[in-house]
Amino acid sequence: MKCAYLLLEMIWSIGVSTNCIWSHAVSISTISARNTFMKKCARRRRVYDKERKKNLVMENVPNIKNGSGIYLKNRLLVSRRG
C-alpha cells in the first residue's frame, strides 16, 4: 500500500514538474517571439523615421533664411560626390 502511494506521489510530482517546465517553456517561447516581433517593428519604425526625417528636411529646406537651401544642399551633395 505504501509502495503504491509512493509511486503515485512520484508520478504526481513528475507530472507537476513537467507541467511547470512545459508552462515555463511556453512562456519563454512567447517572450522570445514577442522580442523578435518587437525588434522587427523597431527596425521598421527606425527606417520609417529615417525616411520621414529625410522628407521633413527636404520640406524644411526652403525655409532657410536665404531661400536657396535646396540649391546649396544639391551643390554640396554634387561637390561631395565629385
pLDDT tens track for 4-22: 766 667 666 666 666 655 6
The whole-angstrom separation of Cα 15 and Cα 19 is 6
pLDDT at 40: 67
The whole-angstrom separation of Cα 22 and Cα 4 is 26
pTM greater than 0.85 (yes/no): no
pLDDT at 80: 47
CB 46 within 8 A of CB 39: no
The length of the chain in residues reads: 82
Contacts of the segment 28-36: beta carbons below 8 A, 24+ positions apart:
none
Model pLDDT for residues 27-69, shown as the tens digit of each residue: 666 667 767 766 666 666 666 666 666 665 555 454 445 444 4
pLDDT at 31: 66
